[in-house]
Structure 1
Amino acid sequence: MQASDQSARRAPGWAALAACIARAGVTLLLAANVSAAQDLPDTLGQRMQACMGCHGNEGRATNHGYLPRIAGKPAGYLYNQLVNFREGRRPNADMAALLQHMTDDYLRDIAGYFAASKLPYPPPQTTGADAAVLSRGQALVRQGDAAQGIPACVQCHGAAMTGVRPSVPGLLGLPRDYLLGQLGAWRSGQRRAASPDCMAHIARQLQPADVGALATWLSSQPVPGDAEPADGLPLPPPADCGSGLP
């Protein structure tokens, strides 16, 4: 009984010591985290880590799913899309919340950062597609459809479909679901751009089957290893675009 009494009398002391050690450990852990955060360089690249949680390492994304690649897109295009998200022309609650307090100059810095990323593209997502669907998609991209009032995609997005500086994006290397979603959003008015909204007008001329054919053909094409946005178009674009065309 005497030994038990001594153990009981010591217990509160040991409990207090254990609690003290635990608090010290937490304090050291918090201090280490603060120190690590203070050691991180305050660079634009470090700040852009938040974007990579969705858009992939260095903004490259993948050829699956819905989220688009932003690495290597023309800076003017990226800037326009950031403004469109901030101002509600492209509805996305997460992007709007992220951008709502950012200035135009900071959005230009973000756009320039990702535009300068030169990264390899993944292999094509779509394989084994129906030949007739691919043929229709290719015809729309290369020749358009005059009877439906649809210009060829290459007239704005460049002969290689890798985009045109400063403001026209490439359409290769994107997931099929993303292409379907964006063309559908243009057609329905859920996605808008600065007036005159040339893409909305063009998308409304597309039949649902044409939307599928375009998304299928584009997502089945390999991206050239040296893919770069073109510096200009050989001929004037077929329509006025508020987002800016060369």
Structure 2
Amino acid sequence: MKFPLWASLMALAASAQAAQAAPVPDTMAQRLQACTVCHGKEGRATSEGYFPRIAGKPAGYLFNQLVNFRDGRRHNATMAYLVEHLPDDYLREIAGYFAGQNLPYAAPPVPTAPPQQLALGAALVREGDPRRGIPACTACHGERMTGVVPAVPGLIGLSRDYVTGQLGAWQTGQRRAAEPDCMSTIARRLTAQDVSAVAAWLSAQPAPVDAKPAQQPVHLPLPIDCGSGLQ
């Protein structure tokens, strides 16, 4: 049985009115859907390696990065557009929302780097190179590399491409932080071989069962002055 055209049009109009009448919940999850396009559902990252996981990162770190994008210390056109008119209080709300997402980590990819490269990466992450003034990554980012509250990010769960890109950005000045800019100082002491090794090893490490940020660094004071690490 065929419906007349007017009946079909009325049905479509009624459906459209019902859709328009459906209330949209005013929640942070709803407001921040634009973030999940790149950073994945609930901020847990996607298969696109250059977009980092933000779920569970310390709130102070996330806030600092949002401010850095807004104020031009970090450069990404999409991020700058999204936050350019947002006040500090709202950026803190955004940071707090994603910091509160306690979600499981995906399994890391099978490492494809040569054993010698992985060994160098492990040594730099866990021991650093005192001769060149390079502290161990774990000295600031935590023994399990899950970050330290309130503002030191975790390194677990980051892709090889992302780690390589960010260390390169520190080296070239495309990424900056509050002075003294400790990561800029450290990155400039790394060779291209060092960067590749650190990125390869870090990206291959599984997350611990409890991947929440540590409550305090392994050692205080930190091995290098850092303007934003403990703020």
Shared fold per TM-score greater than 0.5: yes
Paired with 1:241 and 1:57, the residues of 2 have a C-alpha distance of: 32
Q: Out of 60, 66, 87, which is 2:50 matched to?
A: 66
Relative to total residues, which structure has the larger helix share, 1 or 2? 1
Q: Are 1:120 and 2:108 counterparts?
A: no
Q: Which amino acid aligns with 2:28?
A: L
State yes or no: 1:35 paired with 2:21: yes
Q: Give every structure 1 segment of 4 or more consecutive aligned residues whose post-TM-superposition deviation is greater than 2 Å.
A: 20-33
State the match for 1:237 in structure 2: 222
- The number of residue pairs the alignment matches comes to 227
Q: Is residue 146–residue 212 contact of structure 2 (8 Å, CA) maintained in 1?
A: yes
1:24-77 deviation per Cα after TM superposition (whole angstroms, max 9, x unaligned) = 5664454233212xx121111211222111111111014652100000000000
Letter in 2 for 1:146: P
* Aligned counterparts, 1:92-171, within 5 A: 92-171=76-155
> What's the secondary structure of 1:214's corresponding residue?
helix
Match of 2:63 among 50, 54, 79: 79
Partner residue in 2 for 1:177 = 161
For 2:42 and 2:75, locate their aligned partners in 1 and report how far apart those are by CA, in whole Å. Answer: 24
CA spacing shift, 1:45–1:132, aligned 2, 3 Å = same
Q: Whole-Å Cα distance in 1 between the matches of residues 158 and 48 of structure 2?
A: 8
Amino acid corresponding to residue 202 of structure 1 in structure 2: I
1:195 corresponds to:
179
Greater Rg, structure 1 or structure 2? 1
TM-score (norm 1): 0.87
Q: Contact 1:62–1:175 (CA<8 Å) still a contact in 2?
A: no
Q: Quick check: 1:71–1:114 contact (8 Å CA) kept in 2? A: yes
Whether contact under 8 Å (2:139, 2:223) holds in the other structure is yes
The alignment yields a C-alpha RMSD, in angstroms, of 1.8
SS for the counterpart of 1:164 is coil
C-alpha contact (below 8 Å) 2:111/2:200 kept by paired residues? no
Contact 1:63 1:125 in 2 (8 A): no
Shift, 1:82, TM fit: 0.5
Deviation digits for residues 113-136 of structure 1 (CA, Å, limit 9, x no counterpart): 010101100111242321100100
For residue 145 of structure 1, report the CA deviation from its aligned partner: 0.8
TM-score (ref. length: structure 2)? 0.92
- Select which of 161, 169, 194 maps to 1:210: 194
* TM-fit CA distance, 1:244: 3.0
Match of 1:48 among 22, 32, 36: 32
**Other structure's SS at 1:205 match:** coil
Q: Taking every aligned residue pair, what percent have the same amino acid on both sides?
A: 59
Aligned-partner Cα distance in 2 for 1:183–1:45: 31
Q: Structure 1 unaligned runs (5+)?
A: 1-16
